[in-house]
Structure 1
Amino acid sequence: MSVKEATGEDASPANPVEADAPVEVARPAKGESRTDMVGKALGLLVLLGDEPRGASAAEISRRADLPFSTTYRLLGSLTRDGFVDYEPDGRRYHLGLRIFQLGQAVSHHHGFAGTALPILRRVTEQTGEATILSVRDGIHHLTVNKVDGPQTFRVTSDPGHLGALHTTSVGKALVAFAEKEDRERLLEELPLEPLTALSITDRDAFRAEIEKVRRQGYAVMDEENELGMRAVAVPVFNSQGIAFASLATAVPVFRLSMEALVALVPLLQAAAVELSARLPQR
């Protein structure tokens, strides 16, 4: 064991400067199954997915609540197989291209790339603003596609981004038109942490907001998720009338009023009907 590993300081099995240090392959410790190791490795990938700037081995170890030596070995295996990249200058780990390739395969499998993108592009051509397609992933929404408008001011919710359900228009639409049992569970248990001073943090207020979304058929976000941004979203329904995705237009507040944004709802709803007919339903 190296001094760096023993002290918990950052080290990398993929650091080219340490060419004499072999890449350690993660092996189950005594009493630990291979399934346990796979779960821990996947957990590290999830943690790195929340770190767009990457993280050091020590930071990952702390966040994962794993011994540094275990984290180090797992990162070695993941780096070797291309699931994780190592940045020698900053001594930080990032998700690797292999993850991107798998994500693209999933996107194509569900039709989000080939089928959805032309529809999103058409909406953006008509609005001049960003169009976003999201699905629910547990207590978050996952951005699966986005088409930016021609303006220089970009929306930051890129494909692969996990966002809050209660502070976003896409998230509210997914909650409002989820199966009744799921909707009630989310209304009772969803964490309502504030992201801005305008975020909904009261459970009764959130329930009232979701009921309003169900009545009007669309959801809005007005600086609740990010100051300076607003959005409107509509559900994409499956054949049972349950939302399996949501479609949104997002704009900076200085460019469109909320009234002008809501006026885009019919356009979004028409696109959502087309997506519902073309996308594989989950």
Structure 2
Amino acid sequence: MKKTNIIQSVDRAISILEVLEKSSEPLGVTEISHRLDLHKSTTFGLLSTLERKNLVYQEPESGKYKLGLRLLELGEQVQQRMNLRHQARPFLKKLVEEFKETVHLVVKVENDYVYIDKVDGPQAIRMYSQIGKRALMHCSGVGKAILAFLPTNEQEKIMTGIELESFTPNTISNFDKLSKHLEEIRQKGYSIDDEEIEMGLRCVAAPILNHRGEAIAAISIAGPTTRMTYERIQDLVQPIKETSLLISKTMGYMPY
């Protein structure tokens, strides 16, 4: 990366985290500023910002700083997603081998989802999906599967924070209709994308749950409508639900 692309304040904030990470004991503002050759007021301002985001913690007694719990949470999220992709891969490949269609794995990221793995079927067609791509929740099988199995307060937060953009005539763009649809998905345990994000494409999806029973990800089997007929979708419902349950168990989910 070119030096001109580096944002100095962000670079300095990261340097503070690195200094705290290497220290076996909490550090004061003066000590941190000396180690990084920064003005004390600059260091204090950066620490205050990091503390507000829970990335550092200031001890009440000493006034010194150490790494905050938010870093642990972020690290766990990264580890969880890395483990998920590794754990899910064999299950994805098995679905492709059995049904000869493309299989996706996505994870929830804020109000959206991101594709983290994709195994193409032998007759794969060009699709909207690609690893690393971010997409909206309301217009896909995987997105709706996640949204339906989130805690009510989190689901409502996402619903009020997104715009129900229409991509095809089949996209659900009404909040009341979407809410009822999500309740049906929760009862059935799976969702369908019926040409809602791309015409000519249909998929069936199911959520992956964590140890709290909350959706953290989803998998889908997708293909062209010429092959993914409504009759075939019904044949795929049980396999996708069974596979998502097996993956969920590797992530600590215990069905009751």
**TMscore range, shorter length:** 0.5 to 0.7
The normalised TM-score by structure 1 is: 0.61
Deviations 1:183-221 (A, max 9, x none): 122233321011112211111111111111112111111
Q: Does 1:253 align with 2:225?
A: yes
Q: Does 1:128 align with 2:100?
A: yes
How many percent identity over aligned positions? 29
Partner of 1:25: 4
Alignment of 1:114-125 (within 5 A): 114-125=86-97
CA positional deviation for 1:259: 2.7
Query: For 1:162, which of 123, 134, 153 is the aligned residue?
Result: 134
CA positional deviation for 1:151: 0.5
Q: List alignment gaps of at least 5 residues for structure 2.
A: 15-77
Aligned mates of 1:140, 1:152 — CA distance in 2? 25
Aligned mates of 1:249, 1:214 — CA distance in 2? 18
CA positional deviation for 1:257: 0.7
Partner of 1:233: 205
Aligned mates of 2:204, 2:81 — CA distance in 1? 27
Q: Does 1:35 align with 2:10?
A: yes
Preserved CA contact (<8 Å) 1:112 1:144: no
> What is the one-letter code of the residue matched to 2:4?
V
Aligned mates of 2:179, 2:108 — CA distance in 1? 18
SS in 2 for 1:259: helix
Q: Does 1:224 align with 2:196?
A: yes
Partner of 1:142: 114
Aligned mates of 2:175, 2:153 — CA distance in 1? 17
Partner of 2:147: 175
Preserved CA contact (<8 Å) 1:110 1:280: no
Preserved CA contact (<8 Å) 1:169 1:233: yes
Aligned mates of 1:224, 1:152 — CA distance in 2? 19
The normalised TM-score by structure 2 is: 0.67
Aligned mates of 2:112, 2:81 — CA distance in 1? 21
**Are the structure 2 counterparts of residues 25 and 279 from structure 1 closer, same or farther at C-alpha, using a change threshold of 3 Å?**
same
Deviations 1:222-242 (A, max 9, x none): 111011101111111122221
Aligned mates of 2:215, 2:89 — CA distance in 1? 19
How many pairs are equivalent?
190
Preserved CA contact (<8 Å) 2:81 2:107: no
Moved more, 128-137 or 252-261: 252-261
Q: Extract structure 1 runs of 4+ deviating beyond 4 A.
A: 36-39, 106-109
**Are the structure 2 counterparts of residues 27 and 123 from structure 1 closer, same or farther at C-alpha, using a change threshold of 3 Å?**
closer
SS in 1 for 2:4: coil
Q: What RMSD in Å do the two structures reach over aligned CA positions?
A: 2.5
CA positional deviation for 1:280: 7.0
Partner of 2:156: 184
**Are the structure 2 counterparts of residues 24 and 234 from structure 1 closer, same or farther at C-alpha, using a change threshold of 3 Å?**
closer
Aligned mates of 2:252, 2:187 — CA distance in 1? 27
Q: Does 1:207 align with 2:186?
A: no
**Are the structure 2 counterparts of residues 206 and 246 from structure 1 closer, same or farther at C-alpha, using a change threshold of 3 Å?**
same
